[in-house]
């Protein structure tokens, strides 16, 4: 979990404690209170605790935008369902809510879509943070598999690779379908015909 940098206040000033007291203490949040947070905060929910995420970088946003355009165009053209991007809550199980960078839900699973959150997803994508690689590559990989999300794409800006993970048969773990670098097409296992040019992903015009 990442933590925001401490805010240093000028002498004689202190935080607005009365405002802070309007919110539950860590460990005491409910899902409804988390979902009712105003605005679009970059936060996730873990069994009563709020995790505040770092603001994304320009590169992160460019990668997400490229992937969103490609996936949304493919899904729309084939009438497959709906694609969303963060921030939007995905409930993995009771007490655990994540906000993947991209998520896709099939049309025939529309009953799992709600206006304020989705119950799971059929495919999720995460762009790895260079200062917390374990969060996406280990922790979220385990959690998304436990939530039975069939496919997980892990985009690594440092190594300029895309790893496509698919849920193992009768297991709550992922198997690696492929690790794709420049010169190759990263292809979906659950969406036949959907692929992206990895080189183009990482060499977008400024």
pLDDT at 161: 97
pTM: 0.78
Contact, 152 vs 169, CB < 8 A? no
pLDDT at 35: 66
- 21-43: per-residue pLDDT in tens? 556 666 666 767 666 666 655 66
Q: What distance lies between CA 195 and its chain's CA centroid?
A: 19
Low-confidence stretches of the chain (pLDDT < 50) are 1-4
pLDDT at 16: 55
**Domains in the chain with CATH codes:** 17-52 (no CATH), 58-202 (3.90.1570.10)
From the number of C-beta atoms within 10 Å of its C-beta (0-12, 13-18, 19+), residue 187 rates as middle
pLDDT at 31: 66
Question: Phi and psi dihedrals of 96, rounded to 5?
Answer: -130, 115
């Amino acid at each position: 979990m990442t933590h925001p940098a401490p805010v240093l206040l000028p002498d004689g000033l202190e935080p607005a404690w009365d405002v802070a007291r309007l919110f539950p203490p860590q460990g005491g949040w409910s899902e409804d209170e988390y979902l009712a947070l105003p605005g679009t905060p970059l936060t996730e929910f873990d069994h009563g605790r709020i995790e505040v995420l770092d603001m994304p970088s320009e590169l992160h946003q460019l990668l997400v935008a490229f992937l969103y355009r490609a996936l949304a165009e493919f899904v729309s053209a084939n009438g497959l369902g709906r694609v969303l991007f963060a921030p939007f809550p995905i409930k993995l199980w009771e007490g655990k809510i994540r906000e993947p960078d991209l998520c896709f839900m099939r049309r025939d699973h529309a009953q799992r879509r709600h206006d304020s959150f989705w119950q799971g997803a059929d495919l999720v994508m995460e762009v790895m943070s260079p200062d917390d690689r374990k969060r996406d590559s280990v922790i979220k990989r385990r959690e998304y598999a436990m939530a039975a999300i069939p496919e997980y794409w892990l985009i690594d800006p440092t190594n300029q690779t895309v790893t496509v993970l698919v849920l193992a048969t009768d297991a709550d773990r992922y198997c690696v379908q492929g690790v794709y670098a420049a010169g190759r097409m990263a292809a979906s296992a659950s969406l036949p015909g959907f692929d992206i040019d990895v080189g183009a992903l990482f060499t977008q015009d400024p």
